[in-house]
Structure 1
Amino acid sequence: MNISFPGTLPNSVKQPHLFCTNAPRCHRNRINKVHVTACSKFEGNSADILQAPFLSSDKGLSTNNDIMKLFNDAQQNILYLNKQRLVAMEELKRVRREKELLLARLGQLEAESQSSTAECEFLKQKFSLMETAAMAGGAWNLANKDKSKVKGDPPSIFSEMLLRIDLMVLSGAISTAQASEMRSLVTNKDPILAETFYNLKHMSEKELLVGLLPLLDRKRRQALHIVQICTEMAPLTDAGAVASHVTDLCRALRRRNYLVEVVLPKYECMDLSHVQGLKEASTEFNAYFGGKWHRNKIWTGTVYGIAVTFIEPFHLGGFFTRENLYGYNDDFERFTYFCRASLEYLVKSGKQPDILHLHNWHTASVAPLFWDIFVHQGLGSTRILFTCHDFKYQCVEEPRKLGLCGLDPERLHRRDRLQDNLQPRLVNLLKGGIVYSNKVVMISTPFANSIMENKGSYGLESTLMIHKDKIISVPYGLDDTIWNPAMDKYLPAKFSAEDLSGKGKCRTALRRCVGLYEAQAVTAIVGCVCLDISDADLIFIKSALTSAFRNGAQFVLMGASKTPRIQASLEKLQKDFKLLVRLQENCRVIAKHDEALLHLVVAGSDILLCSSFHDPQNQIMLKALKYGALPILRSGNEENGIWNKETESFMLRFNPDVAVSLTEAINHMKDDPVGWANMVKRGMMKDFSWDAECAERYGDAYWSIHEL
């Protein structure tokens, strides 16, 4: 039988890839040496398979039987390779499905860290569907809208809502008209309704109704667009309390469905590693300053899901190419330039935000610039909210400098506008922010009214009284993702108001960690945290030490100072007490900051000394209450030993001799342990988070000026 071989294999057996290191050895039981050579080439190089018949004929293959055997063996190997290829393709599909699931899970976890509760629930259910599809051998395409190809049931939250609405109608709790509006929201898959229902679905019908009825007010449910114009934002900058305030507030507002953006200067000293998707814009814009127009570059990115715009000016002054954020002789010029550039950017980009939110004197000049120049450039519906974090820094300058950013010095240098109250020949930027804003937020103590009457406003008392109707007080929020004893990663044992057993374990751990005596006779641990100690703090700390020893309590101080002289005094105090500790072992001084130990000091203390209520950066009093340590204040407006209704805690006022205040607190703990425990629990149950009173008051302020 004569067989001719074409240049390629038949289509039925042709494969694009011919390789397999585990192919069966075709030369077994063969005696033909040429056969061995041909098959060896097949094992070593797939290209030899196609050429083997021709090569073998040159080396003496003279019979058709040998040729047929070789051809049959090659076919078997090709079939084997084809089978292996199919197995490999199936394995590749499996790996791809696993990769897609991993990417989806990664996206879910990233989104959960920045999303609302409803969004998280939707992501979890969506991921569950993807997992079901993958288990069934299918593949989920994130861009595929054809859900019929996906095995598994869709999310059930909206179906549950429909059933609860029916029950509320049948019970007479809501009218049929209200039920119809709610069903319409369900039909449209309203995200706010989903989030509210998710949080309340396990509660009673009455509690659920209280949460759902406000959602029928469509005007209140409209998402407001807030643009924060500020000079700090955590974790990009770390200059003080404003940075964390801006970030935490924006995150809380996003959880309430607000559209939030932040505009910042692009400092050279800024840590941009925390910015996701940092991108340089391809176009630039001009901003007026000092009689000229200056080019500005725009950078964009997100931080914790918050849209952030960075303005980089091309100005010869190098305004933001400095080592620090503040503290330069031209700070007035630097930040009035930024204010003007921020408004120019909003106009050029076509943004029409509902609210411009300003912070401190650094962005206060946005307010007069807005009303005098920019309000008629497409921003007629925008309103101004100004947050004053501290009255101590006001930026007082010569009136002529207002002309640098385009303001009219003669028009503004008036007592009812920017003229400084204490130095009439100068202008005051902080005052301008108060006068020209629609609403002013004072970050302050619960005793906000007294600030306008006392010396706490540094000469702005009369201005605050004139504008008192637009001033509101908003408390600081506490980041309960970091400061929460029920989930604190630094604590050896977790605890809560419902279960305080972990508090005792933290107390024991604190004693062992710092080397305090562990005798049972000790009545209390008095903690003191001063992350920036002053001379006045040193005086009351020494008085507190004496009082603690006299009452059988132990004392732990963690403190440091930016002033070398005070830091040296603190370190000397630390050395002096080492001699005393050998005898009593009831005092420790830690003259440095240690984040893990700080959490343990707060959690392990029974009483915590606080320098003041107005502690925006460290928030020691709020942390003390949250961790079951009763705070004692060095200053305040309360009488000694009264119950504070605002914070529901037992706060005592320090005086030059702290012995009275501390003694009373220690005796209260010793003589009335049940009453003390109740105060601890009430303090721990108070919600100091950003999502509580702080965000609520800001939301009310936004809506009140939006509806003007």
Structure 2
Amino acid sequence: MYIVQIASECAPVIKAGGLGDVVYGLSRELGMRGHCVELILPMYDCMRYDHIWGLHDAYQGLSVPWYGGAIHCDVFCGWVHGQLCFFIQPKSGDNYFHRGHYYGALDDHMRFAFFSKAALEFLLRANKRPDILHCHDWQTGLVPVLLYEMYQYHGMGNQRVVYTIHNFKHQGIAGSDVLWATGLNREPHYFHYDRLMDNFNPFALNLMKGGIVYANYVNTVSPHHAWEARFENVGYGLGHTLEIHHHKFGGILNGIDYNVWNPEQDDYIPHAYSIDDLSGKALNKKALREHLLLREADKPILAFIGRLDDQKGMHLVHHAIYHALNQNAQFVLLGSATEPGINAWFWHEKHFLNSNPDCHLELGFNEELAHLIYAGADMIVVPSNYEPCGLTQVIGLQYGTVPIVRGVGGLVNTVFDRDYDPEKPPEKRNGYVFYQTDQHALESAINRALGLWYDYPQAFEQLVKQGMAYDYSWNLPGQQYQEIYERVRY
């Protein structure tokens, strides 16, 4: 099949979050399966050009209709770690992608509406006719709308769209200016509950909703999160729309790249190890302590790695630090805050705990340190309020770091409680799960993990190995996406 991914990110050249990792990982997996895969991305001024090989002009003078006129674009082409990528660079005073950042501008809805329009215009003018357009998140929600309301009548009638939602919280709320800019125009047609009108604001358009309504298939990034989006509040108002379109909606778990996350061949850690020989993990634990100036002691290390964001359950992360210290354990945190209040809170904690030999808070992000923490820690805590998929717990399993997670979203699909899981036999369980959002639930799960580490070290090592035995690579997700592509083609 010929598949074109249209997205606002692709790691490592454009990465603001997990979306970039998924777009790259899935593209790579599909290519390995023999499909022809290309990517269309915005050409940001702040992306990592050092990760692009052979960047050259692919299409000059692309004229994209915009309002009553047109914006001229150049399209560049290059290879990003083996993936063929096309970068769209508009030449206009709006400087849509020359802002020094990927997201956060007041006109984001117009920036990415333009990108969606330009991507289709490029495919049309360059005579590219992929079998599947795979679009991601609200930034490309207009692609299926434009395709089925406009471009199918200009020679693109056979293209099909798969639309993946990574985060329901950000939906792309826009006004009628998007319609007039892109040439969709007919306000009464689109300001309709069955099309793009926001479910709660009749004067606003919802670009993510448009993607759901018009795409041939819609998915989110884990089966349990797909259920939550329909029936709980994590769909952020789109539950009824998903219910209407439930026949074409599902969940597919994200994978991780085992070439990057693999303790047997990780260049970022000093000692390689495997499920058959865990001796290197103890040496990495010693290296982690030396790196962070933690004292050498017969104690387990708990870790948290991730954004310091309300989604991640900051009140429980904060509580986990002090509970671990009170239970004779060490704690390591690595993450950067997404808002000033949380940033100030954790800087205060960092200063307060600065002289504690059993704790280190690293505020910011450091890829090399992340690998060392995964390799050196005994447990990793993921107490999220909601978690569409979650990669932290999956990476933890791969590195033999036992996850302690809250039972939401993709965490439910990947971590199975050692003591209580109703579906997995004991030899298939791999971590600890709690469900409530209160401190007592978190403490109970941490205490069970620490108790096993202290009192039954052989049983803890067995749990580590059971986690490492799981395969959360892109192999199975790649197969599932391939089956969906084949289903919607005909």
Q: Same fold (TM over 0.5)?
A: yes
1:200 match: none
In the alignment, does 2:94 pair up with 1:317?
yes
1:190 match: none
1:525 match: 301
Q: 1:230-379 alignment to 2 at 5 Å?
A: 230-281=7-58, 283-379=60-156
> Out of 362, 367, 372, which is 1:595 matched to?
367
> Out of 185, 200, 205, which is 1:422 matched to?
200
Cα deviation, residue 537, structure 1: 4.8
Distance in 1 (alpha carbons) for counterparts of 2:286 and 2:103: 43
Give the 3-state SS of the residue equivalent to 1:245 in structure 2: helix
Distance in 1 (alpha carbons) for counterparts of 2:95 and 2:205: 25
Question: 1:647-674 deviations in whole A, cap 9, x for unaligned?
Answer: 8422222632332221122113334434
In the alignment, does 2:324 pair up with 1:552?
no
Distance in 1 (alpha carbons) for counterparts of 2:62 and 2:351: 59
Cα deviation, residue 536, structure 1: 7.8
Cα deviation, residue 363, structure 1: 1.2
Distance in 2 (alpha carbons) for counterparts of 1:365 and 1:476: 23
Is the Cα contact below 8 Å between 1:546 and 1:659 reproduced in 2?
no
Q: 1:373-522 alignment to 2 at 5 Å?
A: 373-399=150-176, 401-407=178-184, 408-444=186-222, 446-520=224-298, 522=299
Cα deviation, residue 257, structure 1: 0.6
Is the Cα contact below 8 Å between 1:560 and 1:570 reproduced in 2?
no
Give the 3-state SS of the residue equivalent to 1:362 in structure 2: helix
The 3 A distance-change label for structure 1 pair 643 and 673 is: farther
Distance in 2 (alpha carbons) for counterparts of 1:572 and 1:383: 51
Which structure has the bigger radius of gyration?
Answer: 1
Structure 1 range deviating more: 541-550 or 453-462? 541-550
> Out of 549, 558, 574, which is 2:350 matched to?
574
Distance in 2 (alpha carbons) for counterparts of 1:337 and 1:485: 42
The 3 A distance-change label for structure 1 pair 703 and 659 is: same
The 3 A distance-change label for structure 1 pair 645 and 447 is: farther
1:703 match: 486
The 3 A distance-change label for structure 1 pair 348 and 680 is: same
Is the Cα contact below 8 Å between 1:630 and 1:649 reproduced in 2?
yes
Distance in 2 (alpha carbons) for counterparts of 1:567 and 1:435: 38
Q: Which of the pair has the greater relative contact order for Cα pairs under 8 Å at 6+ separation?
A: 2
> Out of 632, 654, 662, which is 2:404 matched to?
632
The 3 A distance-change label for structure 1 pair 504 and 295 is: closer
The 3 A distance-change label for structure 1 pair 377 and 563 is: closer
Q: 1:649-688 alignment to 2 at 5 Å?
A: 649-653=430-434, 655-657=438-440, 658-688=442-472
The 3 A distance-change label for structure 1 pair 308 and 596 is: closer
The 3 A distance-change label for structure 1 pair 492 and 317 is: closer
The 3 A distance-change label for structure 1 pair 540 and 281 is: closer
Distance in 1 (alpha carbons) for counterparts of 2:164 and 2:88: 22
Is the Cα contact below 8 Å between 2:312 and 2:385 reproduced in 1?
no
Is the Cα contact below 8 Å between 1:648 and 1:683 reproduced in 2?
yes
**1:314 is matched by which residue type in structure 2?**
K
Give the 3-state SS of the residue equivalent to 1:652 in structure 2: strand
1:539 match: 315
**2:352 is matched by which residue type in structure 1?**
D
Specify every segment of 5 or more residues in structure 2 that has no aligned partner in the other structure, as ranges.
none
Give the 3-state SS of the residue equivalent to 1:649 in structure 2: coil
Is the Cα contact below 8 Å between 1:417 and 1:431 reproduced in 2?
yes
Residue identity (%):
32
The 3 A distance-change label for structure 1 pair 676 and 472 is: same
Cα deviation, residue 564, structure 1: 4.2
Give the 3-state SS of the residue equivalent to 2:154 in structure 1: coil
Cα deviation, residue 703, structure 1: 1.1
Give the 3-state SS of the residue equivalent to 2:250 in structure 1: strand
Is the Cα contact below 8 Å between 2:221 and 2:389 reproduced in 1?
no
Cα deviation, residue 542, structure 1: 4.1
Is the Cα contact below 8 Å between 2:431 and 2:463 reproduced in 1?
yes
**2:221 is matched by which residue type in structure 1?**
I
> Out of 379, 382, 389, which is 1:607 matched to?
379
Is the Cα contact below 8 Å between 1:441 and 1:472 reproduced in 2?
yes
TM-score by length of 1: 0.63
Distance in 1 (alpha carbons) for counterparts of 2:321 and 2:38: 48
Cα deviation, residue 427, structure 1: 1.8
Distance in 1 (alpha carbons) for counterparts of 2:170 and 2:18: 14
Give the 3-state SS of the residue equivalent to 2:397 in structure 1: helix
The 3 A distance-change label for structure 1 pair 600 and 312 is: closer
Structure 1 range deviating more: 279-288 or 610-619? 610-619
How many residues align? The count is 477
Give the 3-state SS of the residue equivalent to 1:375 in structure 2: helix
Q: 1:177-256 alignment to 2 at 5 Å?
A: 224-256=1-33
Distance in 2 (alpha carbons) for counterparts of 1:535 and 1:446: 17
Q: 1:91-170 alignment to 2 at 5 Å?
A: none
Specify every segment of 5 or more residues in structure 1 that has no aligned partner in the other structure, as ranges.
1-223
In the alignment, does 2:469 pair up with 1:693?
no
Distance in 1 (alpha carbons) for counterparts of 2:370 and 2:125: 47
C-alpha RMSD of the superposition? 2.7
Q: 1:35-114 alignment to 2 at 5 Å?
A: none
Cα deviation, residue 489, structure 1: 1.6
Is the Cα contact below 8 Å between 1:528 and 1:608 reproduced in 2?
yes
The 3 A distance-change label for structure 1 pair 616 and 270 is: farther
The 3 A distance-change label for structure 1 pair 409 and 546 is: same
Structure 1 range deviating more: 511-520 or 237-246? 511-520
